[in-house]
Amino acid sequence: MAFLKCSMLLCKVTLFLLLSLLDVGEGQYKGLRKFSQVQDSQHWAASEEQWFIQKLDHFNGADSRVWKQRYFVNETFYRPGGPVFLMIGGEGPANPAWMQYGTWLTYAEKLGALCLMLEHRFYGKSHPTVDLSSDNLRFLSSRQALADLAHFRTVLGEKHGLSNRKWVAFGGSYPGSLAAWFRLKYPQLVHASVATSAPVHAAVNFPEYLEVVRRSLASENAECPDLVKKASDSLAERLKDPKTYDNVTKDFNLCSTLTIKTETDSAYFLETLAGNFMDVVQYNQDNRAFEGALGTNITIKVLCSMMADTSLGDPYARYAAVAHLMMETFSIKCLDASFSNYVRDMTNTSWDGPAAGGGRQWVYQTCTEFGFYQSTDSPNQPFTGFPLQYQVKQCADFYNVSADQVAEAVAQTNEYYGGYDIRSSRIVFPNGSIDPWHALGITQDISPDLPAVFIEGTAHCANMYPARSEDLLKLSLARDHIFLLLQQWLKE
Ligand SMILES: *[C@@H]1O[C@H](CO)[C@@H](O)[C@H](O)[C@H]1NC(C)=O
Ligand SMILES: *[C@@H]1O[C@H](CO)[C@@H](O)[C@H](O)[C@H]1NC(C)=O
Ligand SMILES: *[C@@H]1O[C@H](CO)[C@@H](O)[C@H](O)[C@H]1NC(C)=O
Ligand SMILES: *[C@@H]1O[C@H](CO)[C@@H](O)[C@H](O)[C@H]1NC(C)=O
Ligand SMILES: *[C@@H]1O[C@H](CO)[C@@H](O)[C@H](O)[C@H]1NC(C)=O
Ligand SMILES: CC(=O)N[C@H]1CO[C@H](CO)[C@@H](O)[C@@H]1O
């Protein structure tokens, strides 16, 4: 999914092309789009991992099973009496790079804060159960994750004499929502939260995502979305005629000859290719400081110039050229566009399995809590062929969760957290104008105590990354503004 993230983060759903690309060793997350995560192996060694004994089920007093949850500490900036900053892990391995880089550390330095990061249950090395069977995934939910945070905060507070310090939660993307909800549900444990690019409103269908992708492409070049639309329509048209399959296979450098037996096969292929654009828009160039993940040269500008380059052929041929560029950039030998391989990977329940880096877990959370399906069910978006129905059906294919159950679960999530109507205090909601996720976030001040910080021109989680000299002025101002809010709140 265009996932993970800012954070360390979230992603959607599919093992897209990028997945195979980003698969660095131990089954990292694949799928970056939805919420993606920064993965930079060269920074992994520095901060030593530590382990916390955590309860398996916080909502059943008769269940005393426990497991080990991973966390990281950086006490470089801590001054006695200072606050405690807690970075919340999300839908992928917690990335120790955050213990050395990032705007929150700048704040920590100025405020004398102790920095902690807790990995989310079921991701990375935090394994509460022996495998990822649907039965065991029952213990994977944002509610359990918040209770993990509460228990961690309580026990560490007591053990290290930090109970009376002011704790501040940080998170970007899905963990941004967790940061807001942690303050909402456990106000006595968390003094304030910075909820960056947080999709606090759950929705089964999320066609707005692709609408924002359209606007982001258009802001680079007004023709760009129409060229993408032409290419994507023309590809969809070819998929209806088996005589074209040999050519399409060559054009997109597929690993095996294209076979389209069902609508699902075609939807998966079209979604995979749209993923090239979705991922680049979500992260654009804001996380380049971290390299790895999508920290490449490839920006919206690069994709739109290729789509406008007549020397590459018609729009269809340019779309294929974009796919080739992505494969070269990530050293992918060929594109696996087979839905049956995807199902095989997503239903593997082993911790060593191909989707255990986060794909299987995150899609489970979308099926049982959030939805967030980035469907093409809107006329105002530039892609073709992956309707909501195709996405929801995966819940049944992977976890035996029906469409009705998905709808009910999403409604319940909003009932539990309040969706856009969150009632709390001391939570700041930064949002980037070109981040597709802002559509589900808080983009206007709810109250003086629940301010939004809107950052014109930036993508997902931009304010969390380390500052760079070429950052937009608005981004620098936003970082300063968030700092002033924290400073003020810590005095309260
Ligand atoms: C803590 O952060 C500082 C500043 O970024 C960094 O130099 C140091 O290596 C970090 N320490 C650990 C244990 O990660
Ligand atoms: C496949 O591509 C070749 C060369 O570009 C073209 O001549 C041929 O018509 C194409 N076949 C189909 C079925 O579109
Ligand atoms: C960025 O582009 C330059 C030249 O176009 C290329 O040499 C370099 O490898 C690219 N870097 C990345 C991270 O893709
Ligand atoms: C799951 O993935 C692991 C690691 O790739 C593999 O060894 C195992 O055979 C797979 N299990 C199934 C049922 O495919
Ligand atoms: C799928 O769920 C239905 C109802 O929720 C249940 O009756 C059925 O046994 C489940 N099937 C499997 C394979 O678990
Ligand atoms: C794109 C978007 O919705 N941005 C919003 C972010 O937050 C500000 C308020 O600070 C809104 O004015 C923007 O519309």
Predicted confidence at residue 7, as pLDDT, reads: 34
Q: Please tell me which residue in 40, 345, 435, 471 is annotated as part of the active site.
A: 435
The bound ligand whose nearest atom lies closest to the alpha carbon of 285 is 3
Distance 322 CA to ligand 2 centre (A): 20
Is the confidence at residue 299, as pLDDT, over 90? no
pLDDT, averaged across the chain: 85
Is the confidence at residue 17, as pLDDT, over 70? no
Per the model's pLDDT, the better-predicted residue between 166 and 38 turns out to be 166
Q: From CA 347, how far away is CA 311, in angstroms rounded? A: 43
Predicted confidence at residue 437, as pLDDT, reads: 65
pLDDT, tens only, 416-434: 999 999 999 999 988 765 5
CA-nearest residue, atom 1 of ligand 2: 247
Is the confidence at residue 133, as pLDDT, over 90? yes
The bound ligand whose nearest atom lies closest to the alpha carbon of 131 is 4
Per the model's pLDDT, the better-predicted residue between 187 and 23 turns out to be 187
CA-nearest residue, atom 5 of ligand 3: 297
Number of the ligand 1 atom closest to the C-alpha atom of 48: 13
pLDDT, tens only, 67-99: 999 999 999 999 999 999 999 999 999 988 889
Distances (CA, A) of 11 to 19, 35, 82, 343: 11, 3, 34, 17
pLDDT, mean of residues 149-166 = 96
Distance 449 CA to ligand 6 centre (A): 16
Predicted confidence at residue 158, as pLDDT, reads: 96
Ligand 6 site residues (CB inside 6 A) read 431, 433, 438, 443-444, 452-454
Distance 267 CA to ligand 6 centre (A): 32
Is the confidence at residue 274, as pLDDT, over 90? yes
Pocket test for ligand 3, best of 297, 298, 326 (most atoms within 8 A of CB): 297
CA-nearest residue, atom 5 of ligand 6: 443
pLDDT, mean of residues 401-414 = 98
Distance 138 CA to ligand 5 centre (A): 14
pLDDT, tens only, 191-219: 999 998 888 999 999 988 899 889 889 98
Predicted confidence at residue 41, as pLDDT, reads: 36
Predicted confidence at residue 394, as pLDDT, reads: 96
Per the model's pLDDT, the better-predicted residue between 455 and 17 turns out to be 455
Ligand 3 site residues (CB inside 6 A) read 296-297, 329
Distance 317 CA to ligand 2 centre (A): 13
Please report which confidence band the pLDDT of residue 445 belongs to, taking 50, 70 and 90 as the band edges: confident
Predicted confidence at residue 27, as pLDDT, reads: 25
CA-nearest residue, atom 6 of ligand 1: 100
- Please, are residues 131 and 401 in contact by the beta-carbon 8 Å criterion? no
Pocket test for ligand 1, best of 40, 44, 71, 76 (most atoms within 8 A of CB): 76
Distance 245 CA to ligand 2 centre (A): 10
Nearest to 198 by CA among 364, 13, 438: 438
Is the distance from the beta carbon of residue 275 to the nearest atom of ligand 4 less than 6 Å?
Answer: no
Per the model's pLDDT, the better-predicted residue between 3 and 485 turns out to be 485
173 is catalytic: yes
What order of strands is seen across the sheet that includes strand 50-55?
A: 50-55, 66-74, 114-118, 84-88, 167-172, 192-196, 427-432, 452-455
CA-nearest residue, atom 3 of ligand 4: 353
Is the confidence at residue 46, as pLDDT, over 80? no
Is the confidence at residue 295, as pLDDT, over 60? no
Please report which confidence band the pLDDT of residue 331 belongs to, taking 50, 70 and 90 as the band edges: confident
Distance 370 CA to ligand 2 centre (A): 43
Is the confidence at residue 381, as pLDDT, over 80? yes
Number of the ligand 2 atom closest to the C-alpha atom of 246: 1
Please report the domains of the chain, with CATH numbers, ordered by start residue. 12-200+416-490 (3.40.50.1820), 204-406 (1.20.120.980)
Q: Please tell me which residue in 120, 127, 201, 460 is annotated as part of the active site.
A: 460
Q: Which residue has the tokens 């090395």?
A: 125
Predicted confidence at residue 279, as pLDDT, reads: 80
460 is catalytic: yes
Pocket test for ligand 4, best of 15, 343, 348, 352 (most atoms within 8 A of CB): 348
Predicted confidence at residue 434, as pLDDT, reads: 56
Pocket test for ligand 2, best of 247, 252, 314 (most atoms within 8 A of CB): 247
pLDDT, mean of residues 119-131 = 97
Predicted confidence at residue 475, as pLDDT, reads: 75
Number of the ligand 3 atom closest to the C-alpha atom of 295: 13
Is the confidence at residue 315, as pLDDT, over 90? yes
- Please, are residues 73 and 49 in contact by the beta-carbon 8 Å criterion? no
CA torsion sign for 434, 439, 444, 447 is: negative
Q: Please tell me which residue in 173, 338, 375, 424 is annotated as part of the active site.
A: 173
Range in 19-33, 139-153, 365-379, 459-473 with the lowest mean pLDDT = 19-33
Predicted confidence at residue 212, as pLDDT, reads: 83
Please report which confidence band the pLDDT of residue 470 belongs to, taking 50, 70 and 90 as the band edges: low
The bound ligand whose nearest atom lies closest to the alpha carbon of 360 is 4
Distance 116 CA to ligand 1 centre (A): 12
Range in 33-37, 308-312, 388-392, 402-406 with the lowest mean pLDDT = 33-37
The bound ligand whose nearest atom lies closest to the alpha carbon of 26 is 4
